[in-house]
Structure formats: structure tokens, C-alpha cells
Amino acid sequence: MRKHNRTTQPGGFLLANKDLREAAARASGIWGSFHSHPISEADPSNGDITGGPRDGHAIIYDLIGDEFRLWRISRYKWDLLKSFDFDRSWLFEAEDD
């Protein structure tokens, strides 16, 4: 389920509480979230930690380094579960078809 950014702050992302309630109501629960970092590594920012969920999972994508990191969040503590590189070569292979 995709939700829109509620902030106009450059580099910022804000979900509205009503969007979260709507998502939770439509699903059996919220497993986690995904967002990208256009100019920083795929580590949680201070805003992610202080303004993000208390518990759950998050996947952060580093657009410059082409790396995904999967985090488990427990009581605002973020633990890295897995990181993996994004292989862009398949994008170019698809263009050859």
C-alpha cells in the first residue's frame, strides 16, 4: 500500500496518522515500511528513529550506493537484519529484449 509524503521539506518524509490508521484497518497489520535515502546511506536517520514506528520492520534503500538494508525495530531500537546490493544490470538487459 503506497502512501503519499505529507511534508514539503526537502529530503523529508512524513506519514499522516490517518494514513497509518487506514493502512492498518485495510490489512491484518502493518509488517513494516519502505523508504529511500537519496543522499545518505541506508541507515536510519535521527528522524527515522525519533519519528518512526516504535516496533516493526523497515527497508531503507540508498539511492547512491544501490544498497537495501532491512531493519527490525523494537522499542525504537533499530537492528540491522540484512543488507543487499541492488543489481541494476537486469534493467539494461530488459531494454535489449
For Zn ion, the binding residues (CB under 5 A) are: 45, 48
Closer of 23 and 61 to Zn ion (Cβ): 61
Cβ of residue 16: shortest distance to Zn ion, in angstroms? 17
Q: What is the 3-state secondary structure (H, E, C) of 18-81?
A: HHHHHHHHHCCCCCEEEEEECCCCCCCCHHHHHHCCCCEEEEEEECCCCEEEEEEEECCEEEEE
Residue of closest CB approach to Zn ion: 48
Cβ of residue 89: shortest distance to Zn ion, in angstroms? 26
Other CB atoms within a 10 A radius of the CB of residue 14 amount to 13
Closer of 45 and 83 to Zn ion (Cβ): 45
Other CB atoms within a 10 A radius of the CB of residue 96 amount to 5
Cβ of residue 59: shortest distance to Zn ion, in angstroms? 10
Closer of 73 and 94 to Zn ion (Cβ): 73
